[in-house]
Chains A and B, each alone.
Chain A
Amino acid sequence: MPASPLQPFFKHKGWKPFPFQNEVWAAYAAGKSGLLHAPTGQGKTLAVWLGPVAEALAAKTPPSSCSILWLTPLRALAQDTLRALREPLEILAPQLQVEARTGDTSAAIRARLRKSLPFGLVTTPESLSLMLTHEDTRAKLANLKAVIVDEWHELLGSKRGVQAELCLARLRAWFPGLKIWGLSATLGNLDEAREVLLGTTHLNAVTVAADLKKEIKVETIIPKEIDRFPWSGHIGTRLAPQVLLELDKARTTLVFTNTRSQTEIWCQELLSLRPEWHDRIAMHHGSLDPAERVKVEQGLRDGSLRCVVCTSSLDLGVDFSPVDQVIQIGSPKGIARMLQRAGRSGHQPGKTSRILGVPTFAMELVEFAAVRDAAAVRHLESRRPLKKPLDVLVQHLVTCAIGEPFEPDAMRREIQSAHAFRDLTDAEWDWSLGFISSGGKALTNYPRYRKAHLVEGRYTVDDKRLILQHRLSIGTISSDTHISVRFARGQTLGTVEEGFISRLKPGSLFVFAGRKLELVRLHLKVATVRPSKGDARGNIAVWGGSKMPLSTELSHATAARLRGEGKPAPEMKAVAPILAIQKRWSELPDDRILLVEHARSRGEEHLFIYPMAGRVVHEGIGALMAFRMRTKDSITITQNDYGFSLSARRGLNLSEESIRLNLSLDHLLEDVIACLNTAELARRQFREVARVAGLILQNLPRRGGRSQREVQASSRLLFEVLERYDPGNLLLLQSEREILERQFEFSRLHSVLADISNRPIHLVETEHLTPMAFPLWADRLSATFSPGDAATRLEQMLQELNQAAK
């Protein structure tokens, strides 16, 4: 009976274990690994934690060293996790210690942990990786029974996830009997998620669902006058007065937005409508200073806050106190995300989670109806794992070589037991070994370079300075350049992306962390600001990559709604007049056909094309099509989640055949690379790759000085040098691949075009801009595509330059 030693705790709490908890404990006791998925706040932590605890309690001799590693993706979660893990131990086994070791851990605790590790250790992938660089880690973990990876869905698909995969591979190679358990939100590809977590060598693993058939209710605030409701836009504060009425009905409300800037805007709007709530409305997003965030979380817990406006920073969290009500501003763009957010209310098992949607423009009403349909059948998005990021591999290889010298063949087997690298080729492996030892394929180009070297058939790194350098560079995986925002007096407000702040000049006004600020100066990664009294409405802090595209699954559900499928819904009733106009002037877009509208306005021609595939893919297809048409005029491209538009002075009156030709799969990759200025983008992406691969030195604290500055170079320059003197360097190729996937969702683009090739094209000549076309037409801030490849464009600019010079 695996559960029996746990009885006292449940008795103390007056709880009964859930069936899924019993299931996980039994599987663990049988020596199995697995993945547990559940909505938030469902006793997941206890399910995976108490198995190992029961094991320790049942052991004849109490564990004397570290038995369990608990990996958490966010170090901000470490403290909450510690609390949750310690609680049952106080009753069951007060002698067992749990500690956290993350980047936030104080030097004193860190030093103590260097001496000996507690029964349970909470840590992050970076800190685990760092531990592997210490030669005594293997001995210290000799008693390790299990590794538990929390919020695995957050790591999956990221480089930090791959870092975790590699660390797990190392631990599995050291301790073959090791059990590995993951906790995940529900995903569309749970089995794959489990395979990635457990690696290629794991057999006999289980997936446990803790889906307690929680009922989720999606409701929508219906705008009163639909014909006055905007056809486009994304801020949507028009419904703010109605949102305030809803806030009055509940004690605590979370208002989720999709972007950090929308968070700022909504917070300002609600406050301006109800100034007397200035200490009861707060905001929470990932760029805020941790101290500020903790204050907000505390305010929600003790009820002093009525409403918190937030982004996905609150999607996570162990035992985040539930709220009475969840409001979603704008479409959630994904089904899993909507479920996760809804789960923040009605936390108790059996209680209904309710989410109230606030559309920001008319078509979002359809999306809310669609997301309800998809949630009801639990048709969720998948999260795709990364394949072979070599920058992470070379970093890990150096990590391993520092910890203990490795034999290449054994190491290759270990690496390939990680899902991300199961298809590693000989060429890629040889290149990686070369990169860490002699520099690269073109050996003669690296005469002075030596990092790892072979001693008796094993790779080792023994230069103290290099070891120190490498340890500093671990943990640099995907941390974008952020500028910290501070008052002159020293109080830190949070961070913004460099790209945003560098566009501002001293004296510019902007809104950040709910305050109106004036930029005083920007110096060395610190933006000094002061409160401003002026109106800063125009400049809300924006963050890169914040606009999520509509997920594939939700796109299909939306198309189904437009076709008229599904039960009657108030949203569809409300939006019906607009859809009727669309039908009268053209057709409704659908994912079974390809609707194309051709229209003229003010001396311009427009093509509106609706693949229904999400804005990122549309951006790619739009640019591709403009490129393939090879017109002499420049073409303006805009896109949203339903389609894209091309506008030009002439030349857009295309036949069906020529549209199809422009959307064909032939030479897709070459054309995409040619038209999207991929080289320039890859150069930018290279910054991250170079940092992870250890080509850019991290600043040594307090040791900066001259010698350090001598070896600083911009990633742009490194990219150019590598391109010229070592073009076969695989990191260059990787940058290109990453940018295609990240920036343009290339795989999705490919499958959408494949799908379109089988869809009939409905080409409609329209007299007016239709309701679907209008938002595309109105959104003309986007880039103009100038004809010709990069080289021609360059020439053109130089010509202009020359002419101007004459």
Chain B
Amino acid sequence: MTIQIANQTLQLVADSAVLLDDGTLVVADLHLGKATAFQAQGLAIPEGDSQADLDRVTGLVKWHQATRLIVNGDLFHSPAGLTDEIQRLLETWLNDLQIPVQLILGNHERKLSFIPHGLNPAESTEQAGFHIVHDPKDAPDDRPTVTAHWHPVVKIADGKRTSLRLPCFLLRRQMLVLPSFGTFTGGQILDPEKGDRYFVSPGEDIVEVPSELIRG
């Protein structure tokens, strides 16, 4: 689904990524190694599938024939999660992608003592007319921006007993917030602001959620 922000356009693609006009794919918040961080603290949480999450990114890159990949922050969860195994996975993954990859630093990366090679870390960047930065609070007011960090989730209710919680894209004024990409990442329902628009990808398509279906 193509949406327009100010005079720029971009495409929301299932599931949980954005394709810019110049062929750049943006994903965010993979939180690799999160379960491992839990285990290291004595919590018996099974290892999620970091490999599968990375494969999902590869799949998107190939499908959309992206020419560049930007990970908009929080690729890694914590120092304890940045294991040798994760680093090996990452190396293979970068090799397979065969396109330039850039990591925009997220709050979780700031705690790492080093960033693995090949990720070209940056605080923020400009790409195809968009400012790209991890934390929505660093987004400038006056130009189209792609952010992440909030892990937005929308709750859709049918007025009966059931409701659905789905990760979503949030468009607020000139700022787009990406859903979190990782499997083992939670989400939060945000305090709504006037004019907010929500998009979800329940299957292979992106749909905008009409405001009357949204429950706080």
Contact = CB atoms under 8 A, between A and B. Distances in A.
Interface in A760-790: 783-786, 790
Contacts of B158: 786, 793, 796-797, 800
Contact of A801 (B38, B40, B207): B207
A221 B38 CA distance: 60
Given A448-B80, A697-B41, A725-B46, 11 more contacts: A439-B39, A439-B46, A440-B44, A446-B39, A446-B44, A449-B42, A469-B41, A706-B111, A713-B184, A714-B186, A790-B162
Contacts of B55: none
Contacts of B208: 805
Interface in A448-493: 448-451, 463, 465-466, 469
A274 B210 CA distance: 52
A797 B83 CA distance: 41
B149 interface: no
**Shortest 4 CB-CB distances between A and B: which pairs?**
A449-B39, A445-B46, A448-B39, A725-B46
A711 B37 contact: yes
A801 B202 contact: yes
B207 A725 contact: no
Interface in B167-184: 183-184
A805 B209 CA distance: 7
A446 B47 contact: yes
A426 interface: no
B25 to A, nearest CB: 24
Contact of A722 (B46, B185, B202): B46
Nearest to A713: B186
A713 B43 CA distance: 11
Contacts of B160: 634, 783-784, 786
A717 B184 contact: yes
A797 B164 contact: yes
A798 B48 CA distance: 28
B46 A448 contact: no
A466 B162 contact: no
Interface string B37-68: 11111111111110000000000000000000
Given A439-B39, A677-B161, A805 B207 contact: yes
Contacts of A680: 162
Contacts of A440: 44, 46
Among A449, A696, A783, A793, max chain B CB count under 10 A is at A449
A470 B164 CA distance: 34
Contacts of A717: 184-186
Contact of B77 (A710, A721, A784, A801): A710
B98 to A, nearest CB: 30
Nearest to B42: A466
A541 interface: no
A802 interface: yes
What range describes how many residues of A lie at the interface? Answer: 35 or more
Nearest to A696: B43
Nearest to A731: B44
A733 interface: no
Chain A CB within 10 A, most for which of B44, B162, B202, B203? B44
B46 A726 contact: yes
B67 to A, nearest CB: 30
A447 interface: yes
B36 A447 contact: yes
B202 A721 contact: no
Given A448-B83, A677-B162, A805-B208, A725 B48 contact: yes
B213 interface: yes
A804 interface: yes
Contacts of A659: none
Given A447-B39, A802-B207, A794 B44 contact: no
Interface in B1-56: 35-49
Contact of B43 (A694, A714, A797): A694
A469 B45 CA distance: 16
Contact of A804 (B111, B185, B203, B213): B213
Contacts of B36: 447-448
B48 A721 contact: yes
A212 interface: no
B97 interface: no
A82 interface: no
B94 interface: no
A648 interface: no
Nearest to A623: B161
Chain B CB count within 10 A is highest, among A706, A718, A783, A802, for A718
A435 interface: yes
Contacts of B39: 439, 446-450
A797 B39 CA distance: 37
A721 B161 contact: no
B156 interface: yes
A786 B209 CA distance: 22
A695 interface: yes
Contacts of A801: 156, 202, 207, 209-210, 213
A734 B93 CA distance: 39
A721 B184 contact: yes
Contact of B44 (A435, A697, A790): A435
B192 to A, nearest CB: 12
Contacts of A435: 44
A654 interface: no
Contacts of B111: 706
A786 B41 CA distance: 44
Contacts of B213: 800-801, 804
B124 interface: no
A783 B158 CA distance: 12
Contact of A711 (B41, B156, B207): B41
Given A706-B111, A793-B158, A463 B42 contact: yes
A721 B46 contact: yes
A783 B46 CA distance: 36
Given A469-B42, A784-B160, A725 B37 contact: no
Contacts of A466: 42
B147 interface: no
Nearest to A634: B160
A442 interface: yes
> Which of B111, B161, B212 has most A Cβ within 10 Å?
B161
Nearest to A680: B162
B151 to A, nearest CB: 10
B53 to A, nearest CB: 12
Most B-side CB within 10 Å, residue of A710, A725, A726: A710
A451 to B, nearest CB: 5
B47 to A, nearest CB: 5
A763 to B, nearest CB: 29
B78 interface: yes
Contacts of A710: 37, 77-78
B109 to A, nearest CB: 13
A475 B184 CA distance: 28
Given A794-B164, A805-B207, A451 B44 contact: yes
B184 A449 contact: no
Contacts of A798: 202-203
Given A447-B39, A805-B207, A695 B44 contact: yes
B113 to A, nearest CB: 14
Nearest to A434: B44
Given A721-B184, A790-B162, A793-B158, A450 B45 contact: no
Contacts of A721: 35, 45-46, 48, 183-184
Contacts of A785: 161
Given A448-B80, A793-B158, A797-B164, A804 B210 contact: yes
Contacts of A696: 43
B212 to A, nearest CB: 8
Contacts of B202: 798, 801
B199 to A, nearest CB: 9
